[in-house]
Structure 1
Amino acid sequence: MCNLAVRDTKGKVLPSLMSSLNRYNNARRQKRYGPFHYKYVTSKPLGRGSGPKDQYVFLYRQETVNVTDTYQYDDTKKDRDVFTRDPFAIRVKAPKTEIGEFVLIPLQATADGALQEIDKLYDVYEEIKEKWNIEDVMLLGDFYADCGYVTKKSRQTNRLFTSSDFFWLIGDKVDTCARAGTDCAYDRIVVHGKPFLKAVEPLSAQVFNYKKTYRLSQDLVMRVSDHFPVEVNLKTVSSGPRLMTGHPLFIVLSLIVSLSCTLSVFDTK
């Protein structure tokens, strides 16, 4: 699971969350499935100048996923400083999935710089490919990729949109906003290459409207975030006949505006 905009200035929120999550999870699931243990990986606080600093946080079950490497992209050393919050990549091994190993790169873009930041993700991908010799990459985050910030005309010169090697799993007609009266596909999941696309469960990329699922009030929803999480399932390796395939790996992106950013990867068993 990946959450964006995490602000844990005292370094106490995430350890407390992990302790509570593991305690609750073990109490609820141990008798049926056995215990799962959650861990997390986080970027350093990111942002320009003296303004607020946000973190990218990856939350995962260590029985399902192994984080083998991390990389903090730094475009201040490039020709132009495009990103306000530089992408933070993690390389993971997920042996239960068909894809096996892949890279996750989240981005929390800014509204005014959305088009340039999305285009720059192409360079981030190229750098990761060269560094780790891997092409199976998932880009995900709040791209502001709709509603005036990124128009159809402006996409014509944007490499992440024009390249046939990138597949946008969350489409333009999806509303990822929790705010009433807003209908915009800001949050996206993008994968590189047909092998990765084939490793995705068909039609599994979607918005999780927890307001509707849990019948929450609009006020409570807005206290959590003005974005709904987006999610996707990865196919698992068959343990026999087709009907015996395992539970898909579940990847969630959520945006918690005032508290934290976390990317979490779960086995849906």
Structure 2
Amino acid sequence: MHYPAVLLLLLPGGAEAFRICAFNAQRLTLSKVAREHVMDIFVRILARCDIMVLQEVVDSSGSAISLLLRELNRSHKTQVLDSYVYEDKDDLFAREPFVAQFTFPSKVLPSLVLVPLHTTPKAVEKELNALYDVFLDVSQRWQSKDMILLGDFNADCASLNKKRLAELALRTEAGFRWVIADGEDTTVRASTHCAYDRIVLHGERCQSLLSSAAAFNFPRSFRLNEEEALNISDHYPVEVELSRAAPRVQPLGLAALLLLLLLLLP
């Protein structure tokens, strides 16, 4: 079955930082969320975020998402300004990126673009290099360089070794910041340690607001054993927090100021 490329949910996140998340929910079906304990964990994961990129939704009826949304209050902290599905003329993507532009509650950055992607393991390098072309297309269409590329990139282990990872356009071209580190584990199984799921920031204003980025270890947070956690997904969500204002430059202390004056004296 062909999965939807991405589902974007606007959710009631925290009050201070603005949290953007991506989560490969591993075949999210109606029967999966119909289980009460599974629904409870999903709601707790989703409710932490202001925007959630939910991947591997396998439900043509839309009932699974309706059930989830019924348990969540809709957020008014952001709204979609525009969106489009990237025109994949050369058929490079198994799931064409669905790109969206959101309002952002910051005077520094009034709007932000999200570019989600779920690669297929057999063509990771090809798709991630093509993602750079999507970045260029978005930049030209909306005249914006401030964007976040995120999702299950399969960007580690057997799917993409370190040498091929280092040669990607998104690694060699200036301005891209991979905030989920190469050594991070985004997988639930104890037998694997792979940074499959990634978040990449581009744009000076966007990067200036970066507060934190990490994989969310929901089994540890919700005290689930591995078997219980795998009922939810075999991936951890990955998330980035953006502050609403750029960090202030700290004034020089007296000692530093005196040293600077001494250095400037002839």
| TM-score normalised by L of structure 1 | 0.69
Q: Which residue of 1 aligns with 2:77?
A: 64
**1:131 aligns with one of 135, 138, 141:** 141
> Is 2:183 the counterpart of 1:183?
no
Q: State which of 172, 176, 179 in structure 2 corresponds to 1:162.
A: 172
Higher relative contact order (CA 8 A, sep 6+): 1
Q: Give the alignment's Cα RMSD to 1 decimal.
A: 1.8
CA drift of 1:197 comes to 1.1
Q: 1:195-238, CA deviations, whole angstroms, 9 ceiling, x for partnerless residues?
A: 2211111xx10011011111102111101110001111101138
SS in 2 for 1:71: strand
Native 8 Å contact 2:108 2:205 kept in 1: no
- 5+ long unaligned stretches in structure 1: 23-37, 39-60, 243-269
Report the Cα distance in structure 2 between the residues aligned to 1:218 and 1:97, rounded to whole angstroms.
43
Query: SS at the partner of 2:244?
Result: coil
Q: Which one of 223, 226, 231 corresponds to residue 215 of structure 1?
A: 223
Selected match of 1:19 from 64, 70, 92: 70
2:83–2:98 CA contact under 8 A, matched in 1: yes
1:57-112 per-residue CA deviation (whole Å, 9 max, x = no partner) reads: xxxx2x2111111111121xx2x211100110110011246422110011111111
CA displacement 1:105-130 (0-9 Å, x = unmatched): 11111111111111111000111111
Alignment correspondent of 2:209: 199
Letter in structure 2 aligned against 1:229: P
**Of the two, which has the highest radius of gyration?**
2
Structure 1 segments of 4 or more deviating over 6 A? none
Runs of 5+ in structure 2 lacking a partner?
1-51, 251-266
Residue 95 (structure 1) aligned with residue 105 (structure 2): yes
Secondary structure in structure 2 of the residue aligned to 1:227: coil
Looking at secondary structure, tell me which structure has more helix per residue: 2
Identity over the aligned pairs, expressed in percent?
Answer: 38
Determine the C-alpha separation between the residues in 2 that align with 1:96 and 1:13: 33
CA deviations on 1:24-49 (whole Å, 9 max, x unpaired) are xxxxxxxxxxxxxx1xxxxxxxxxxx
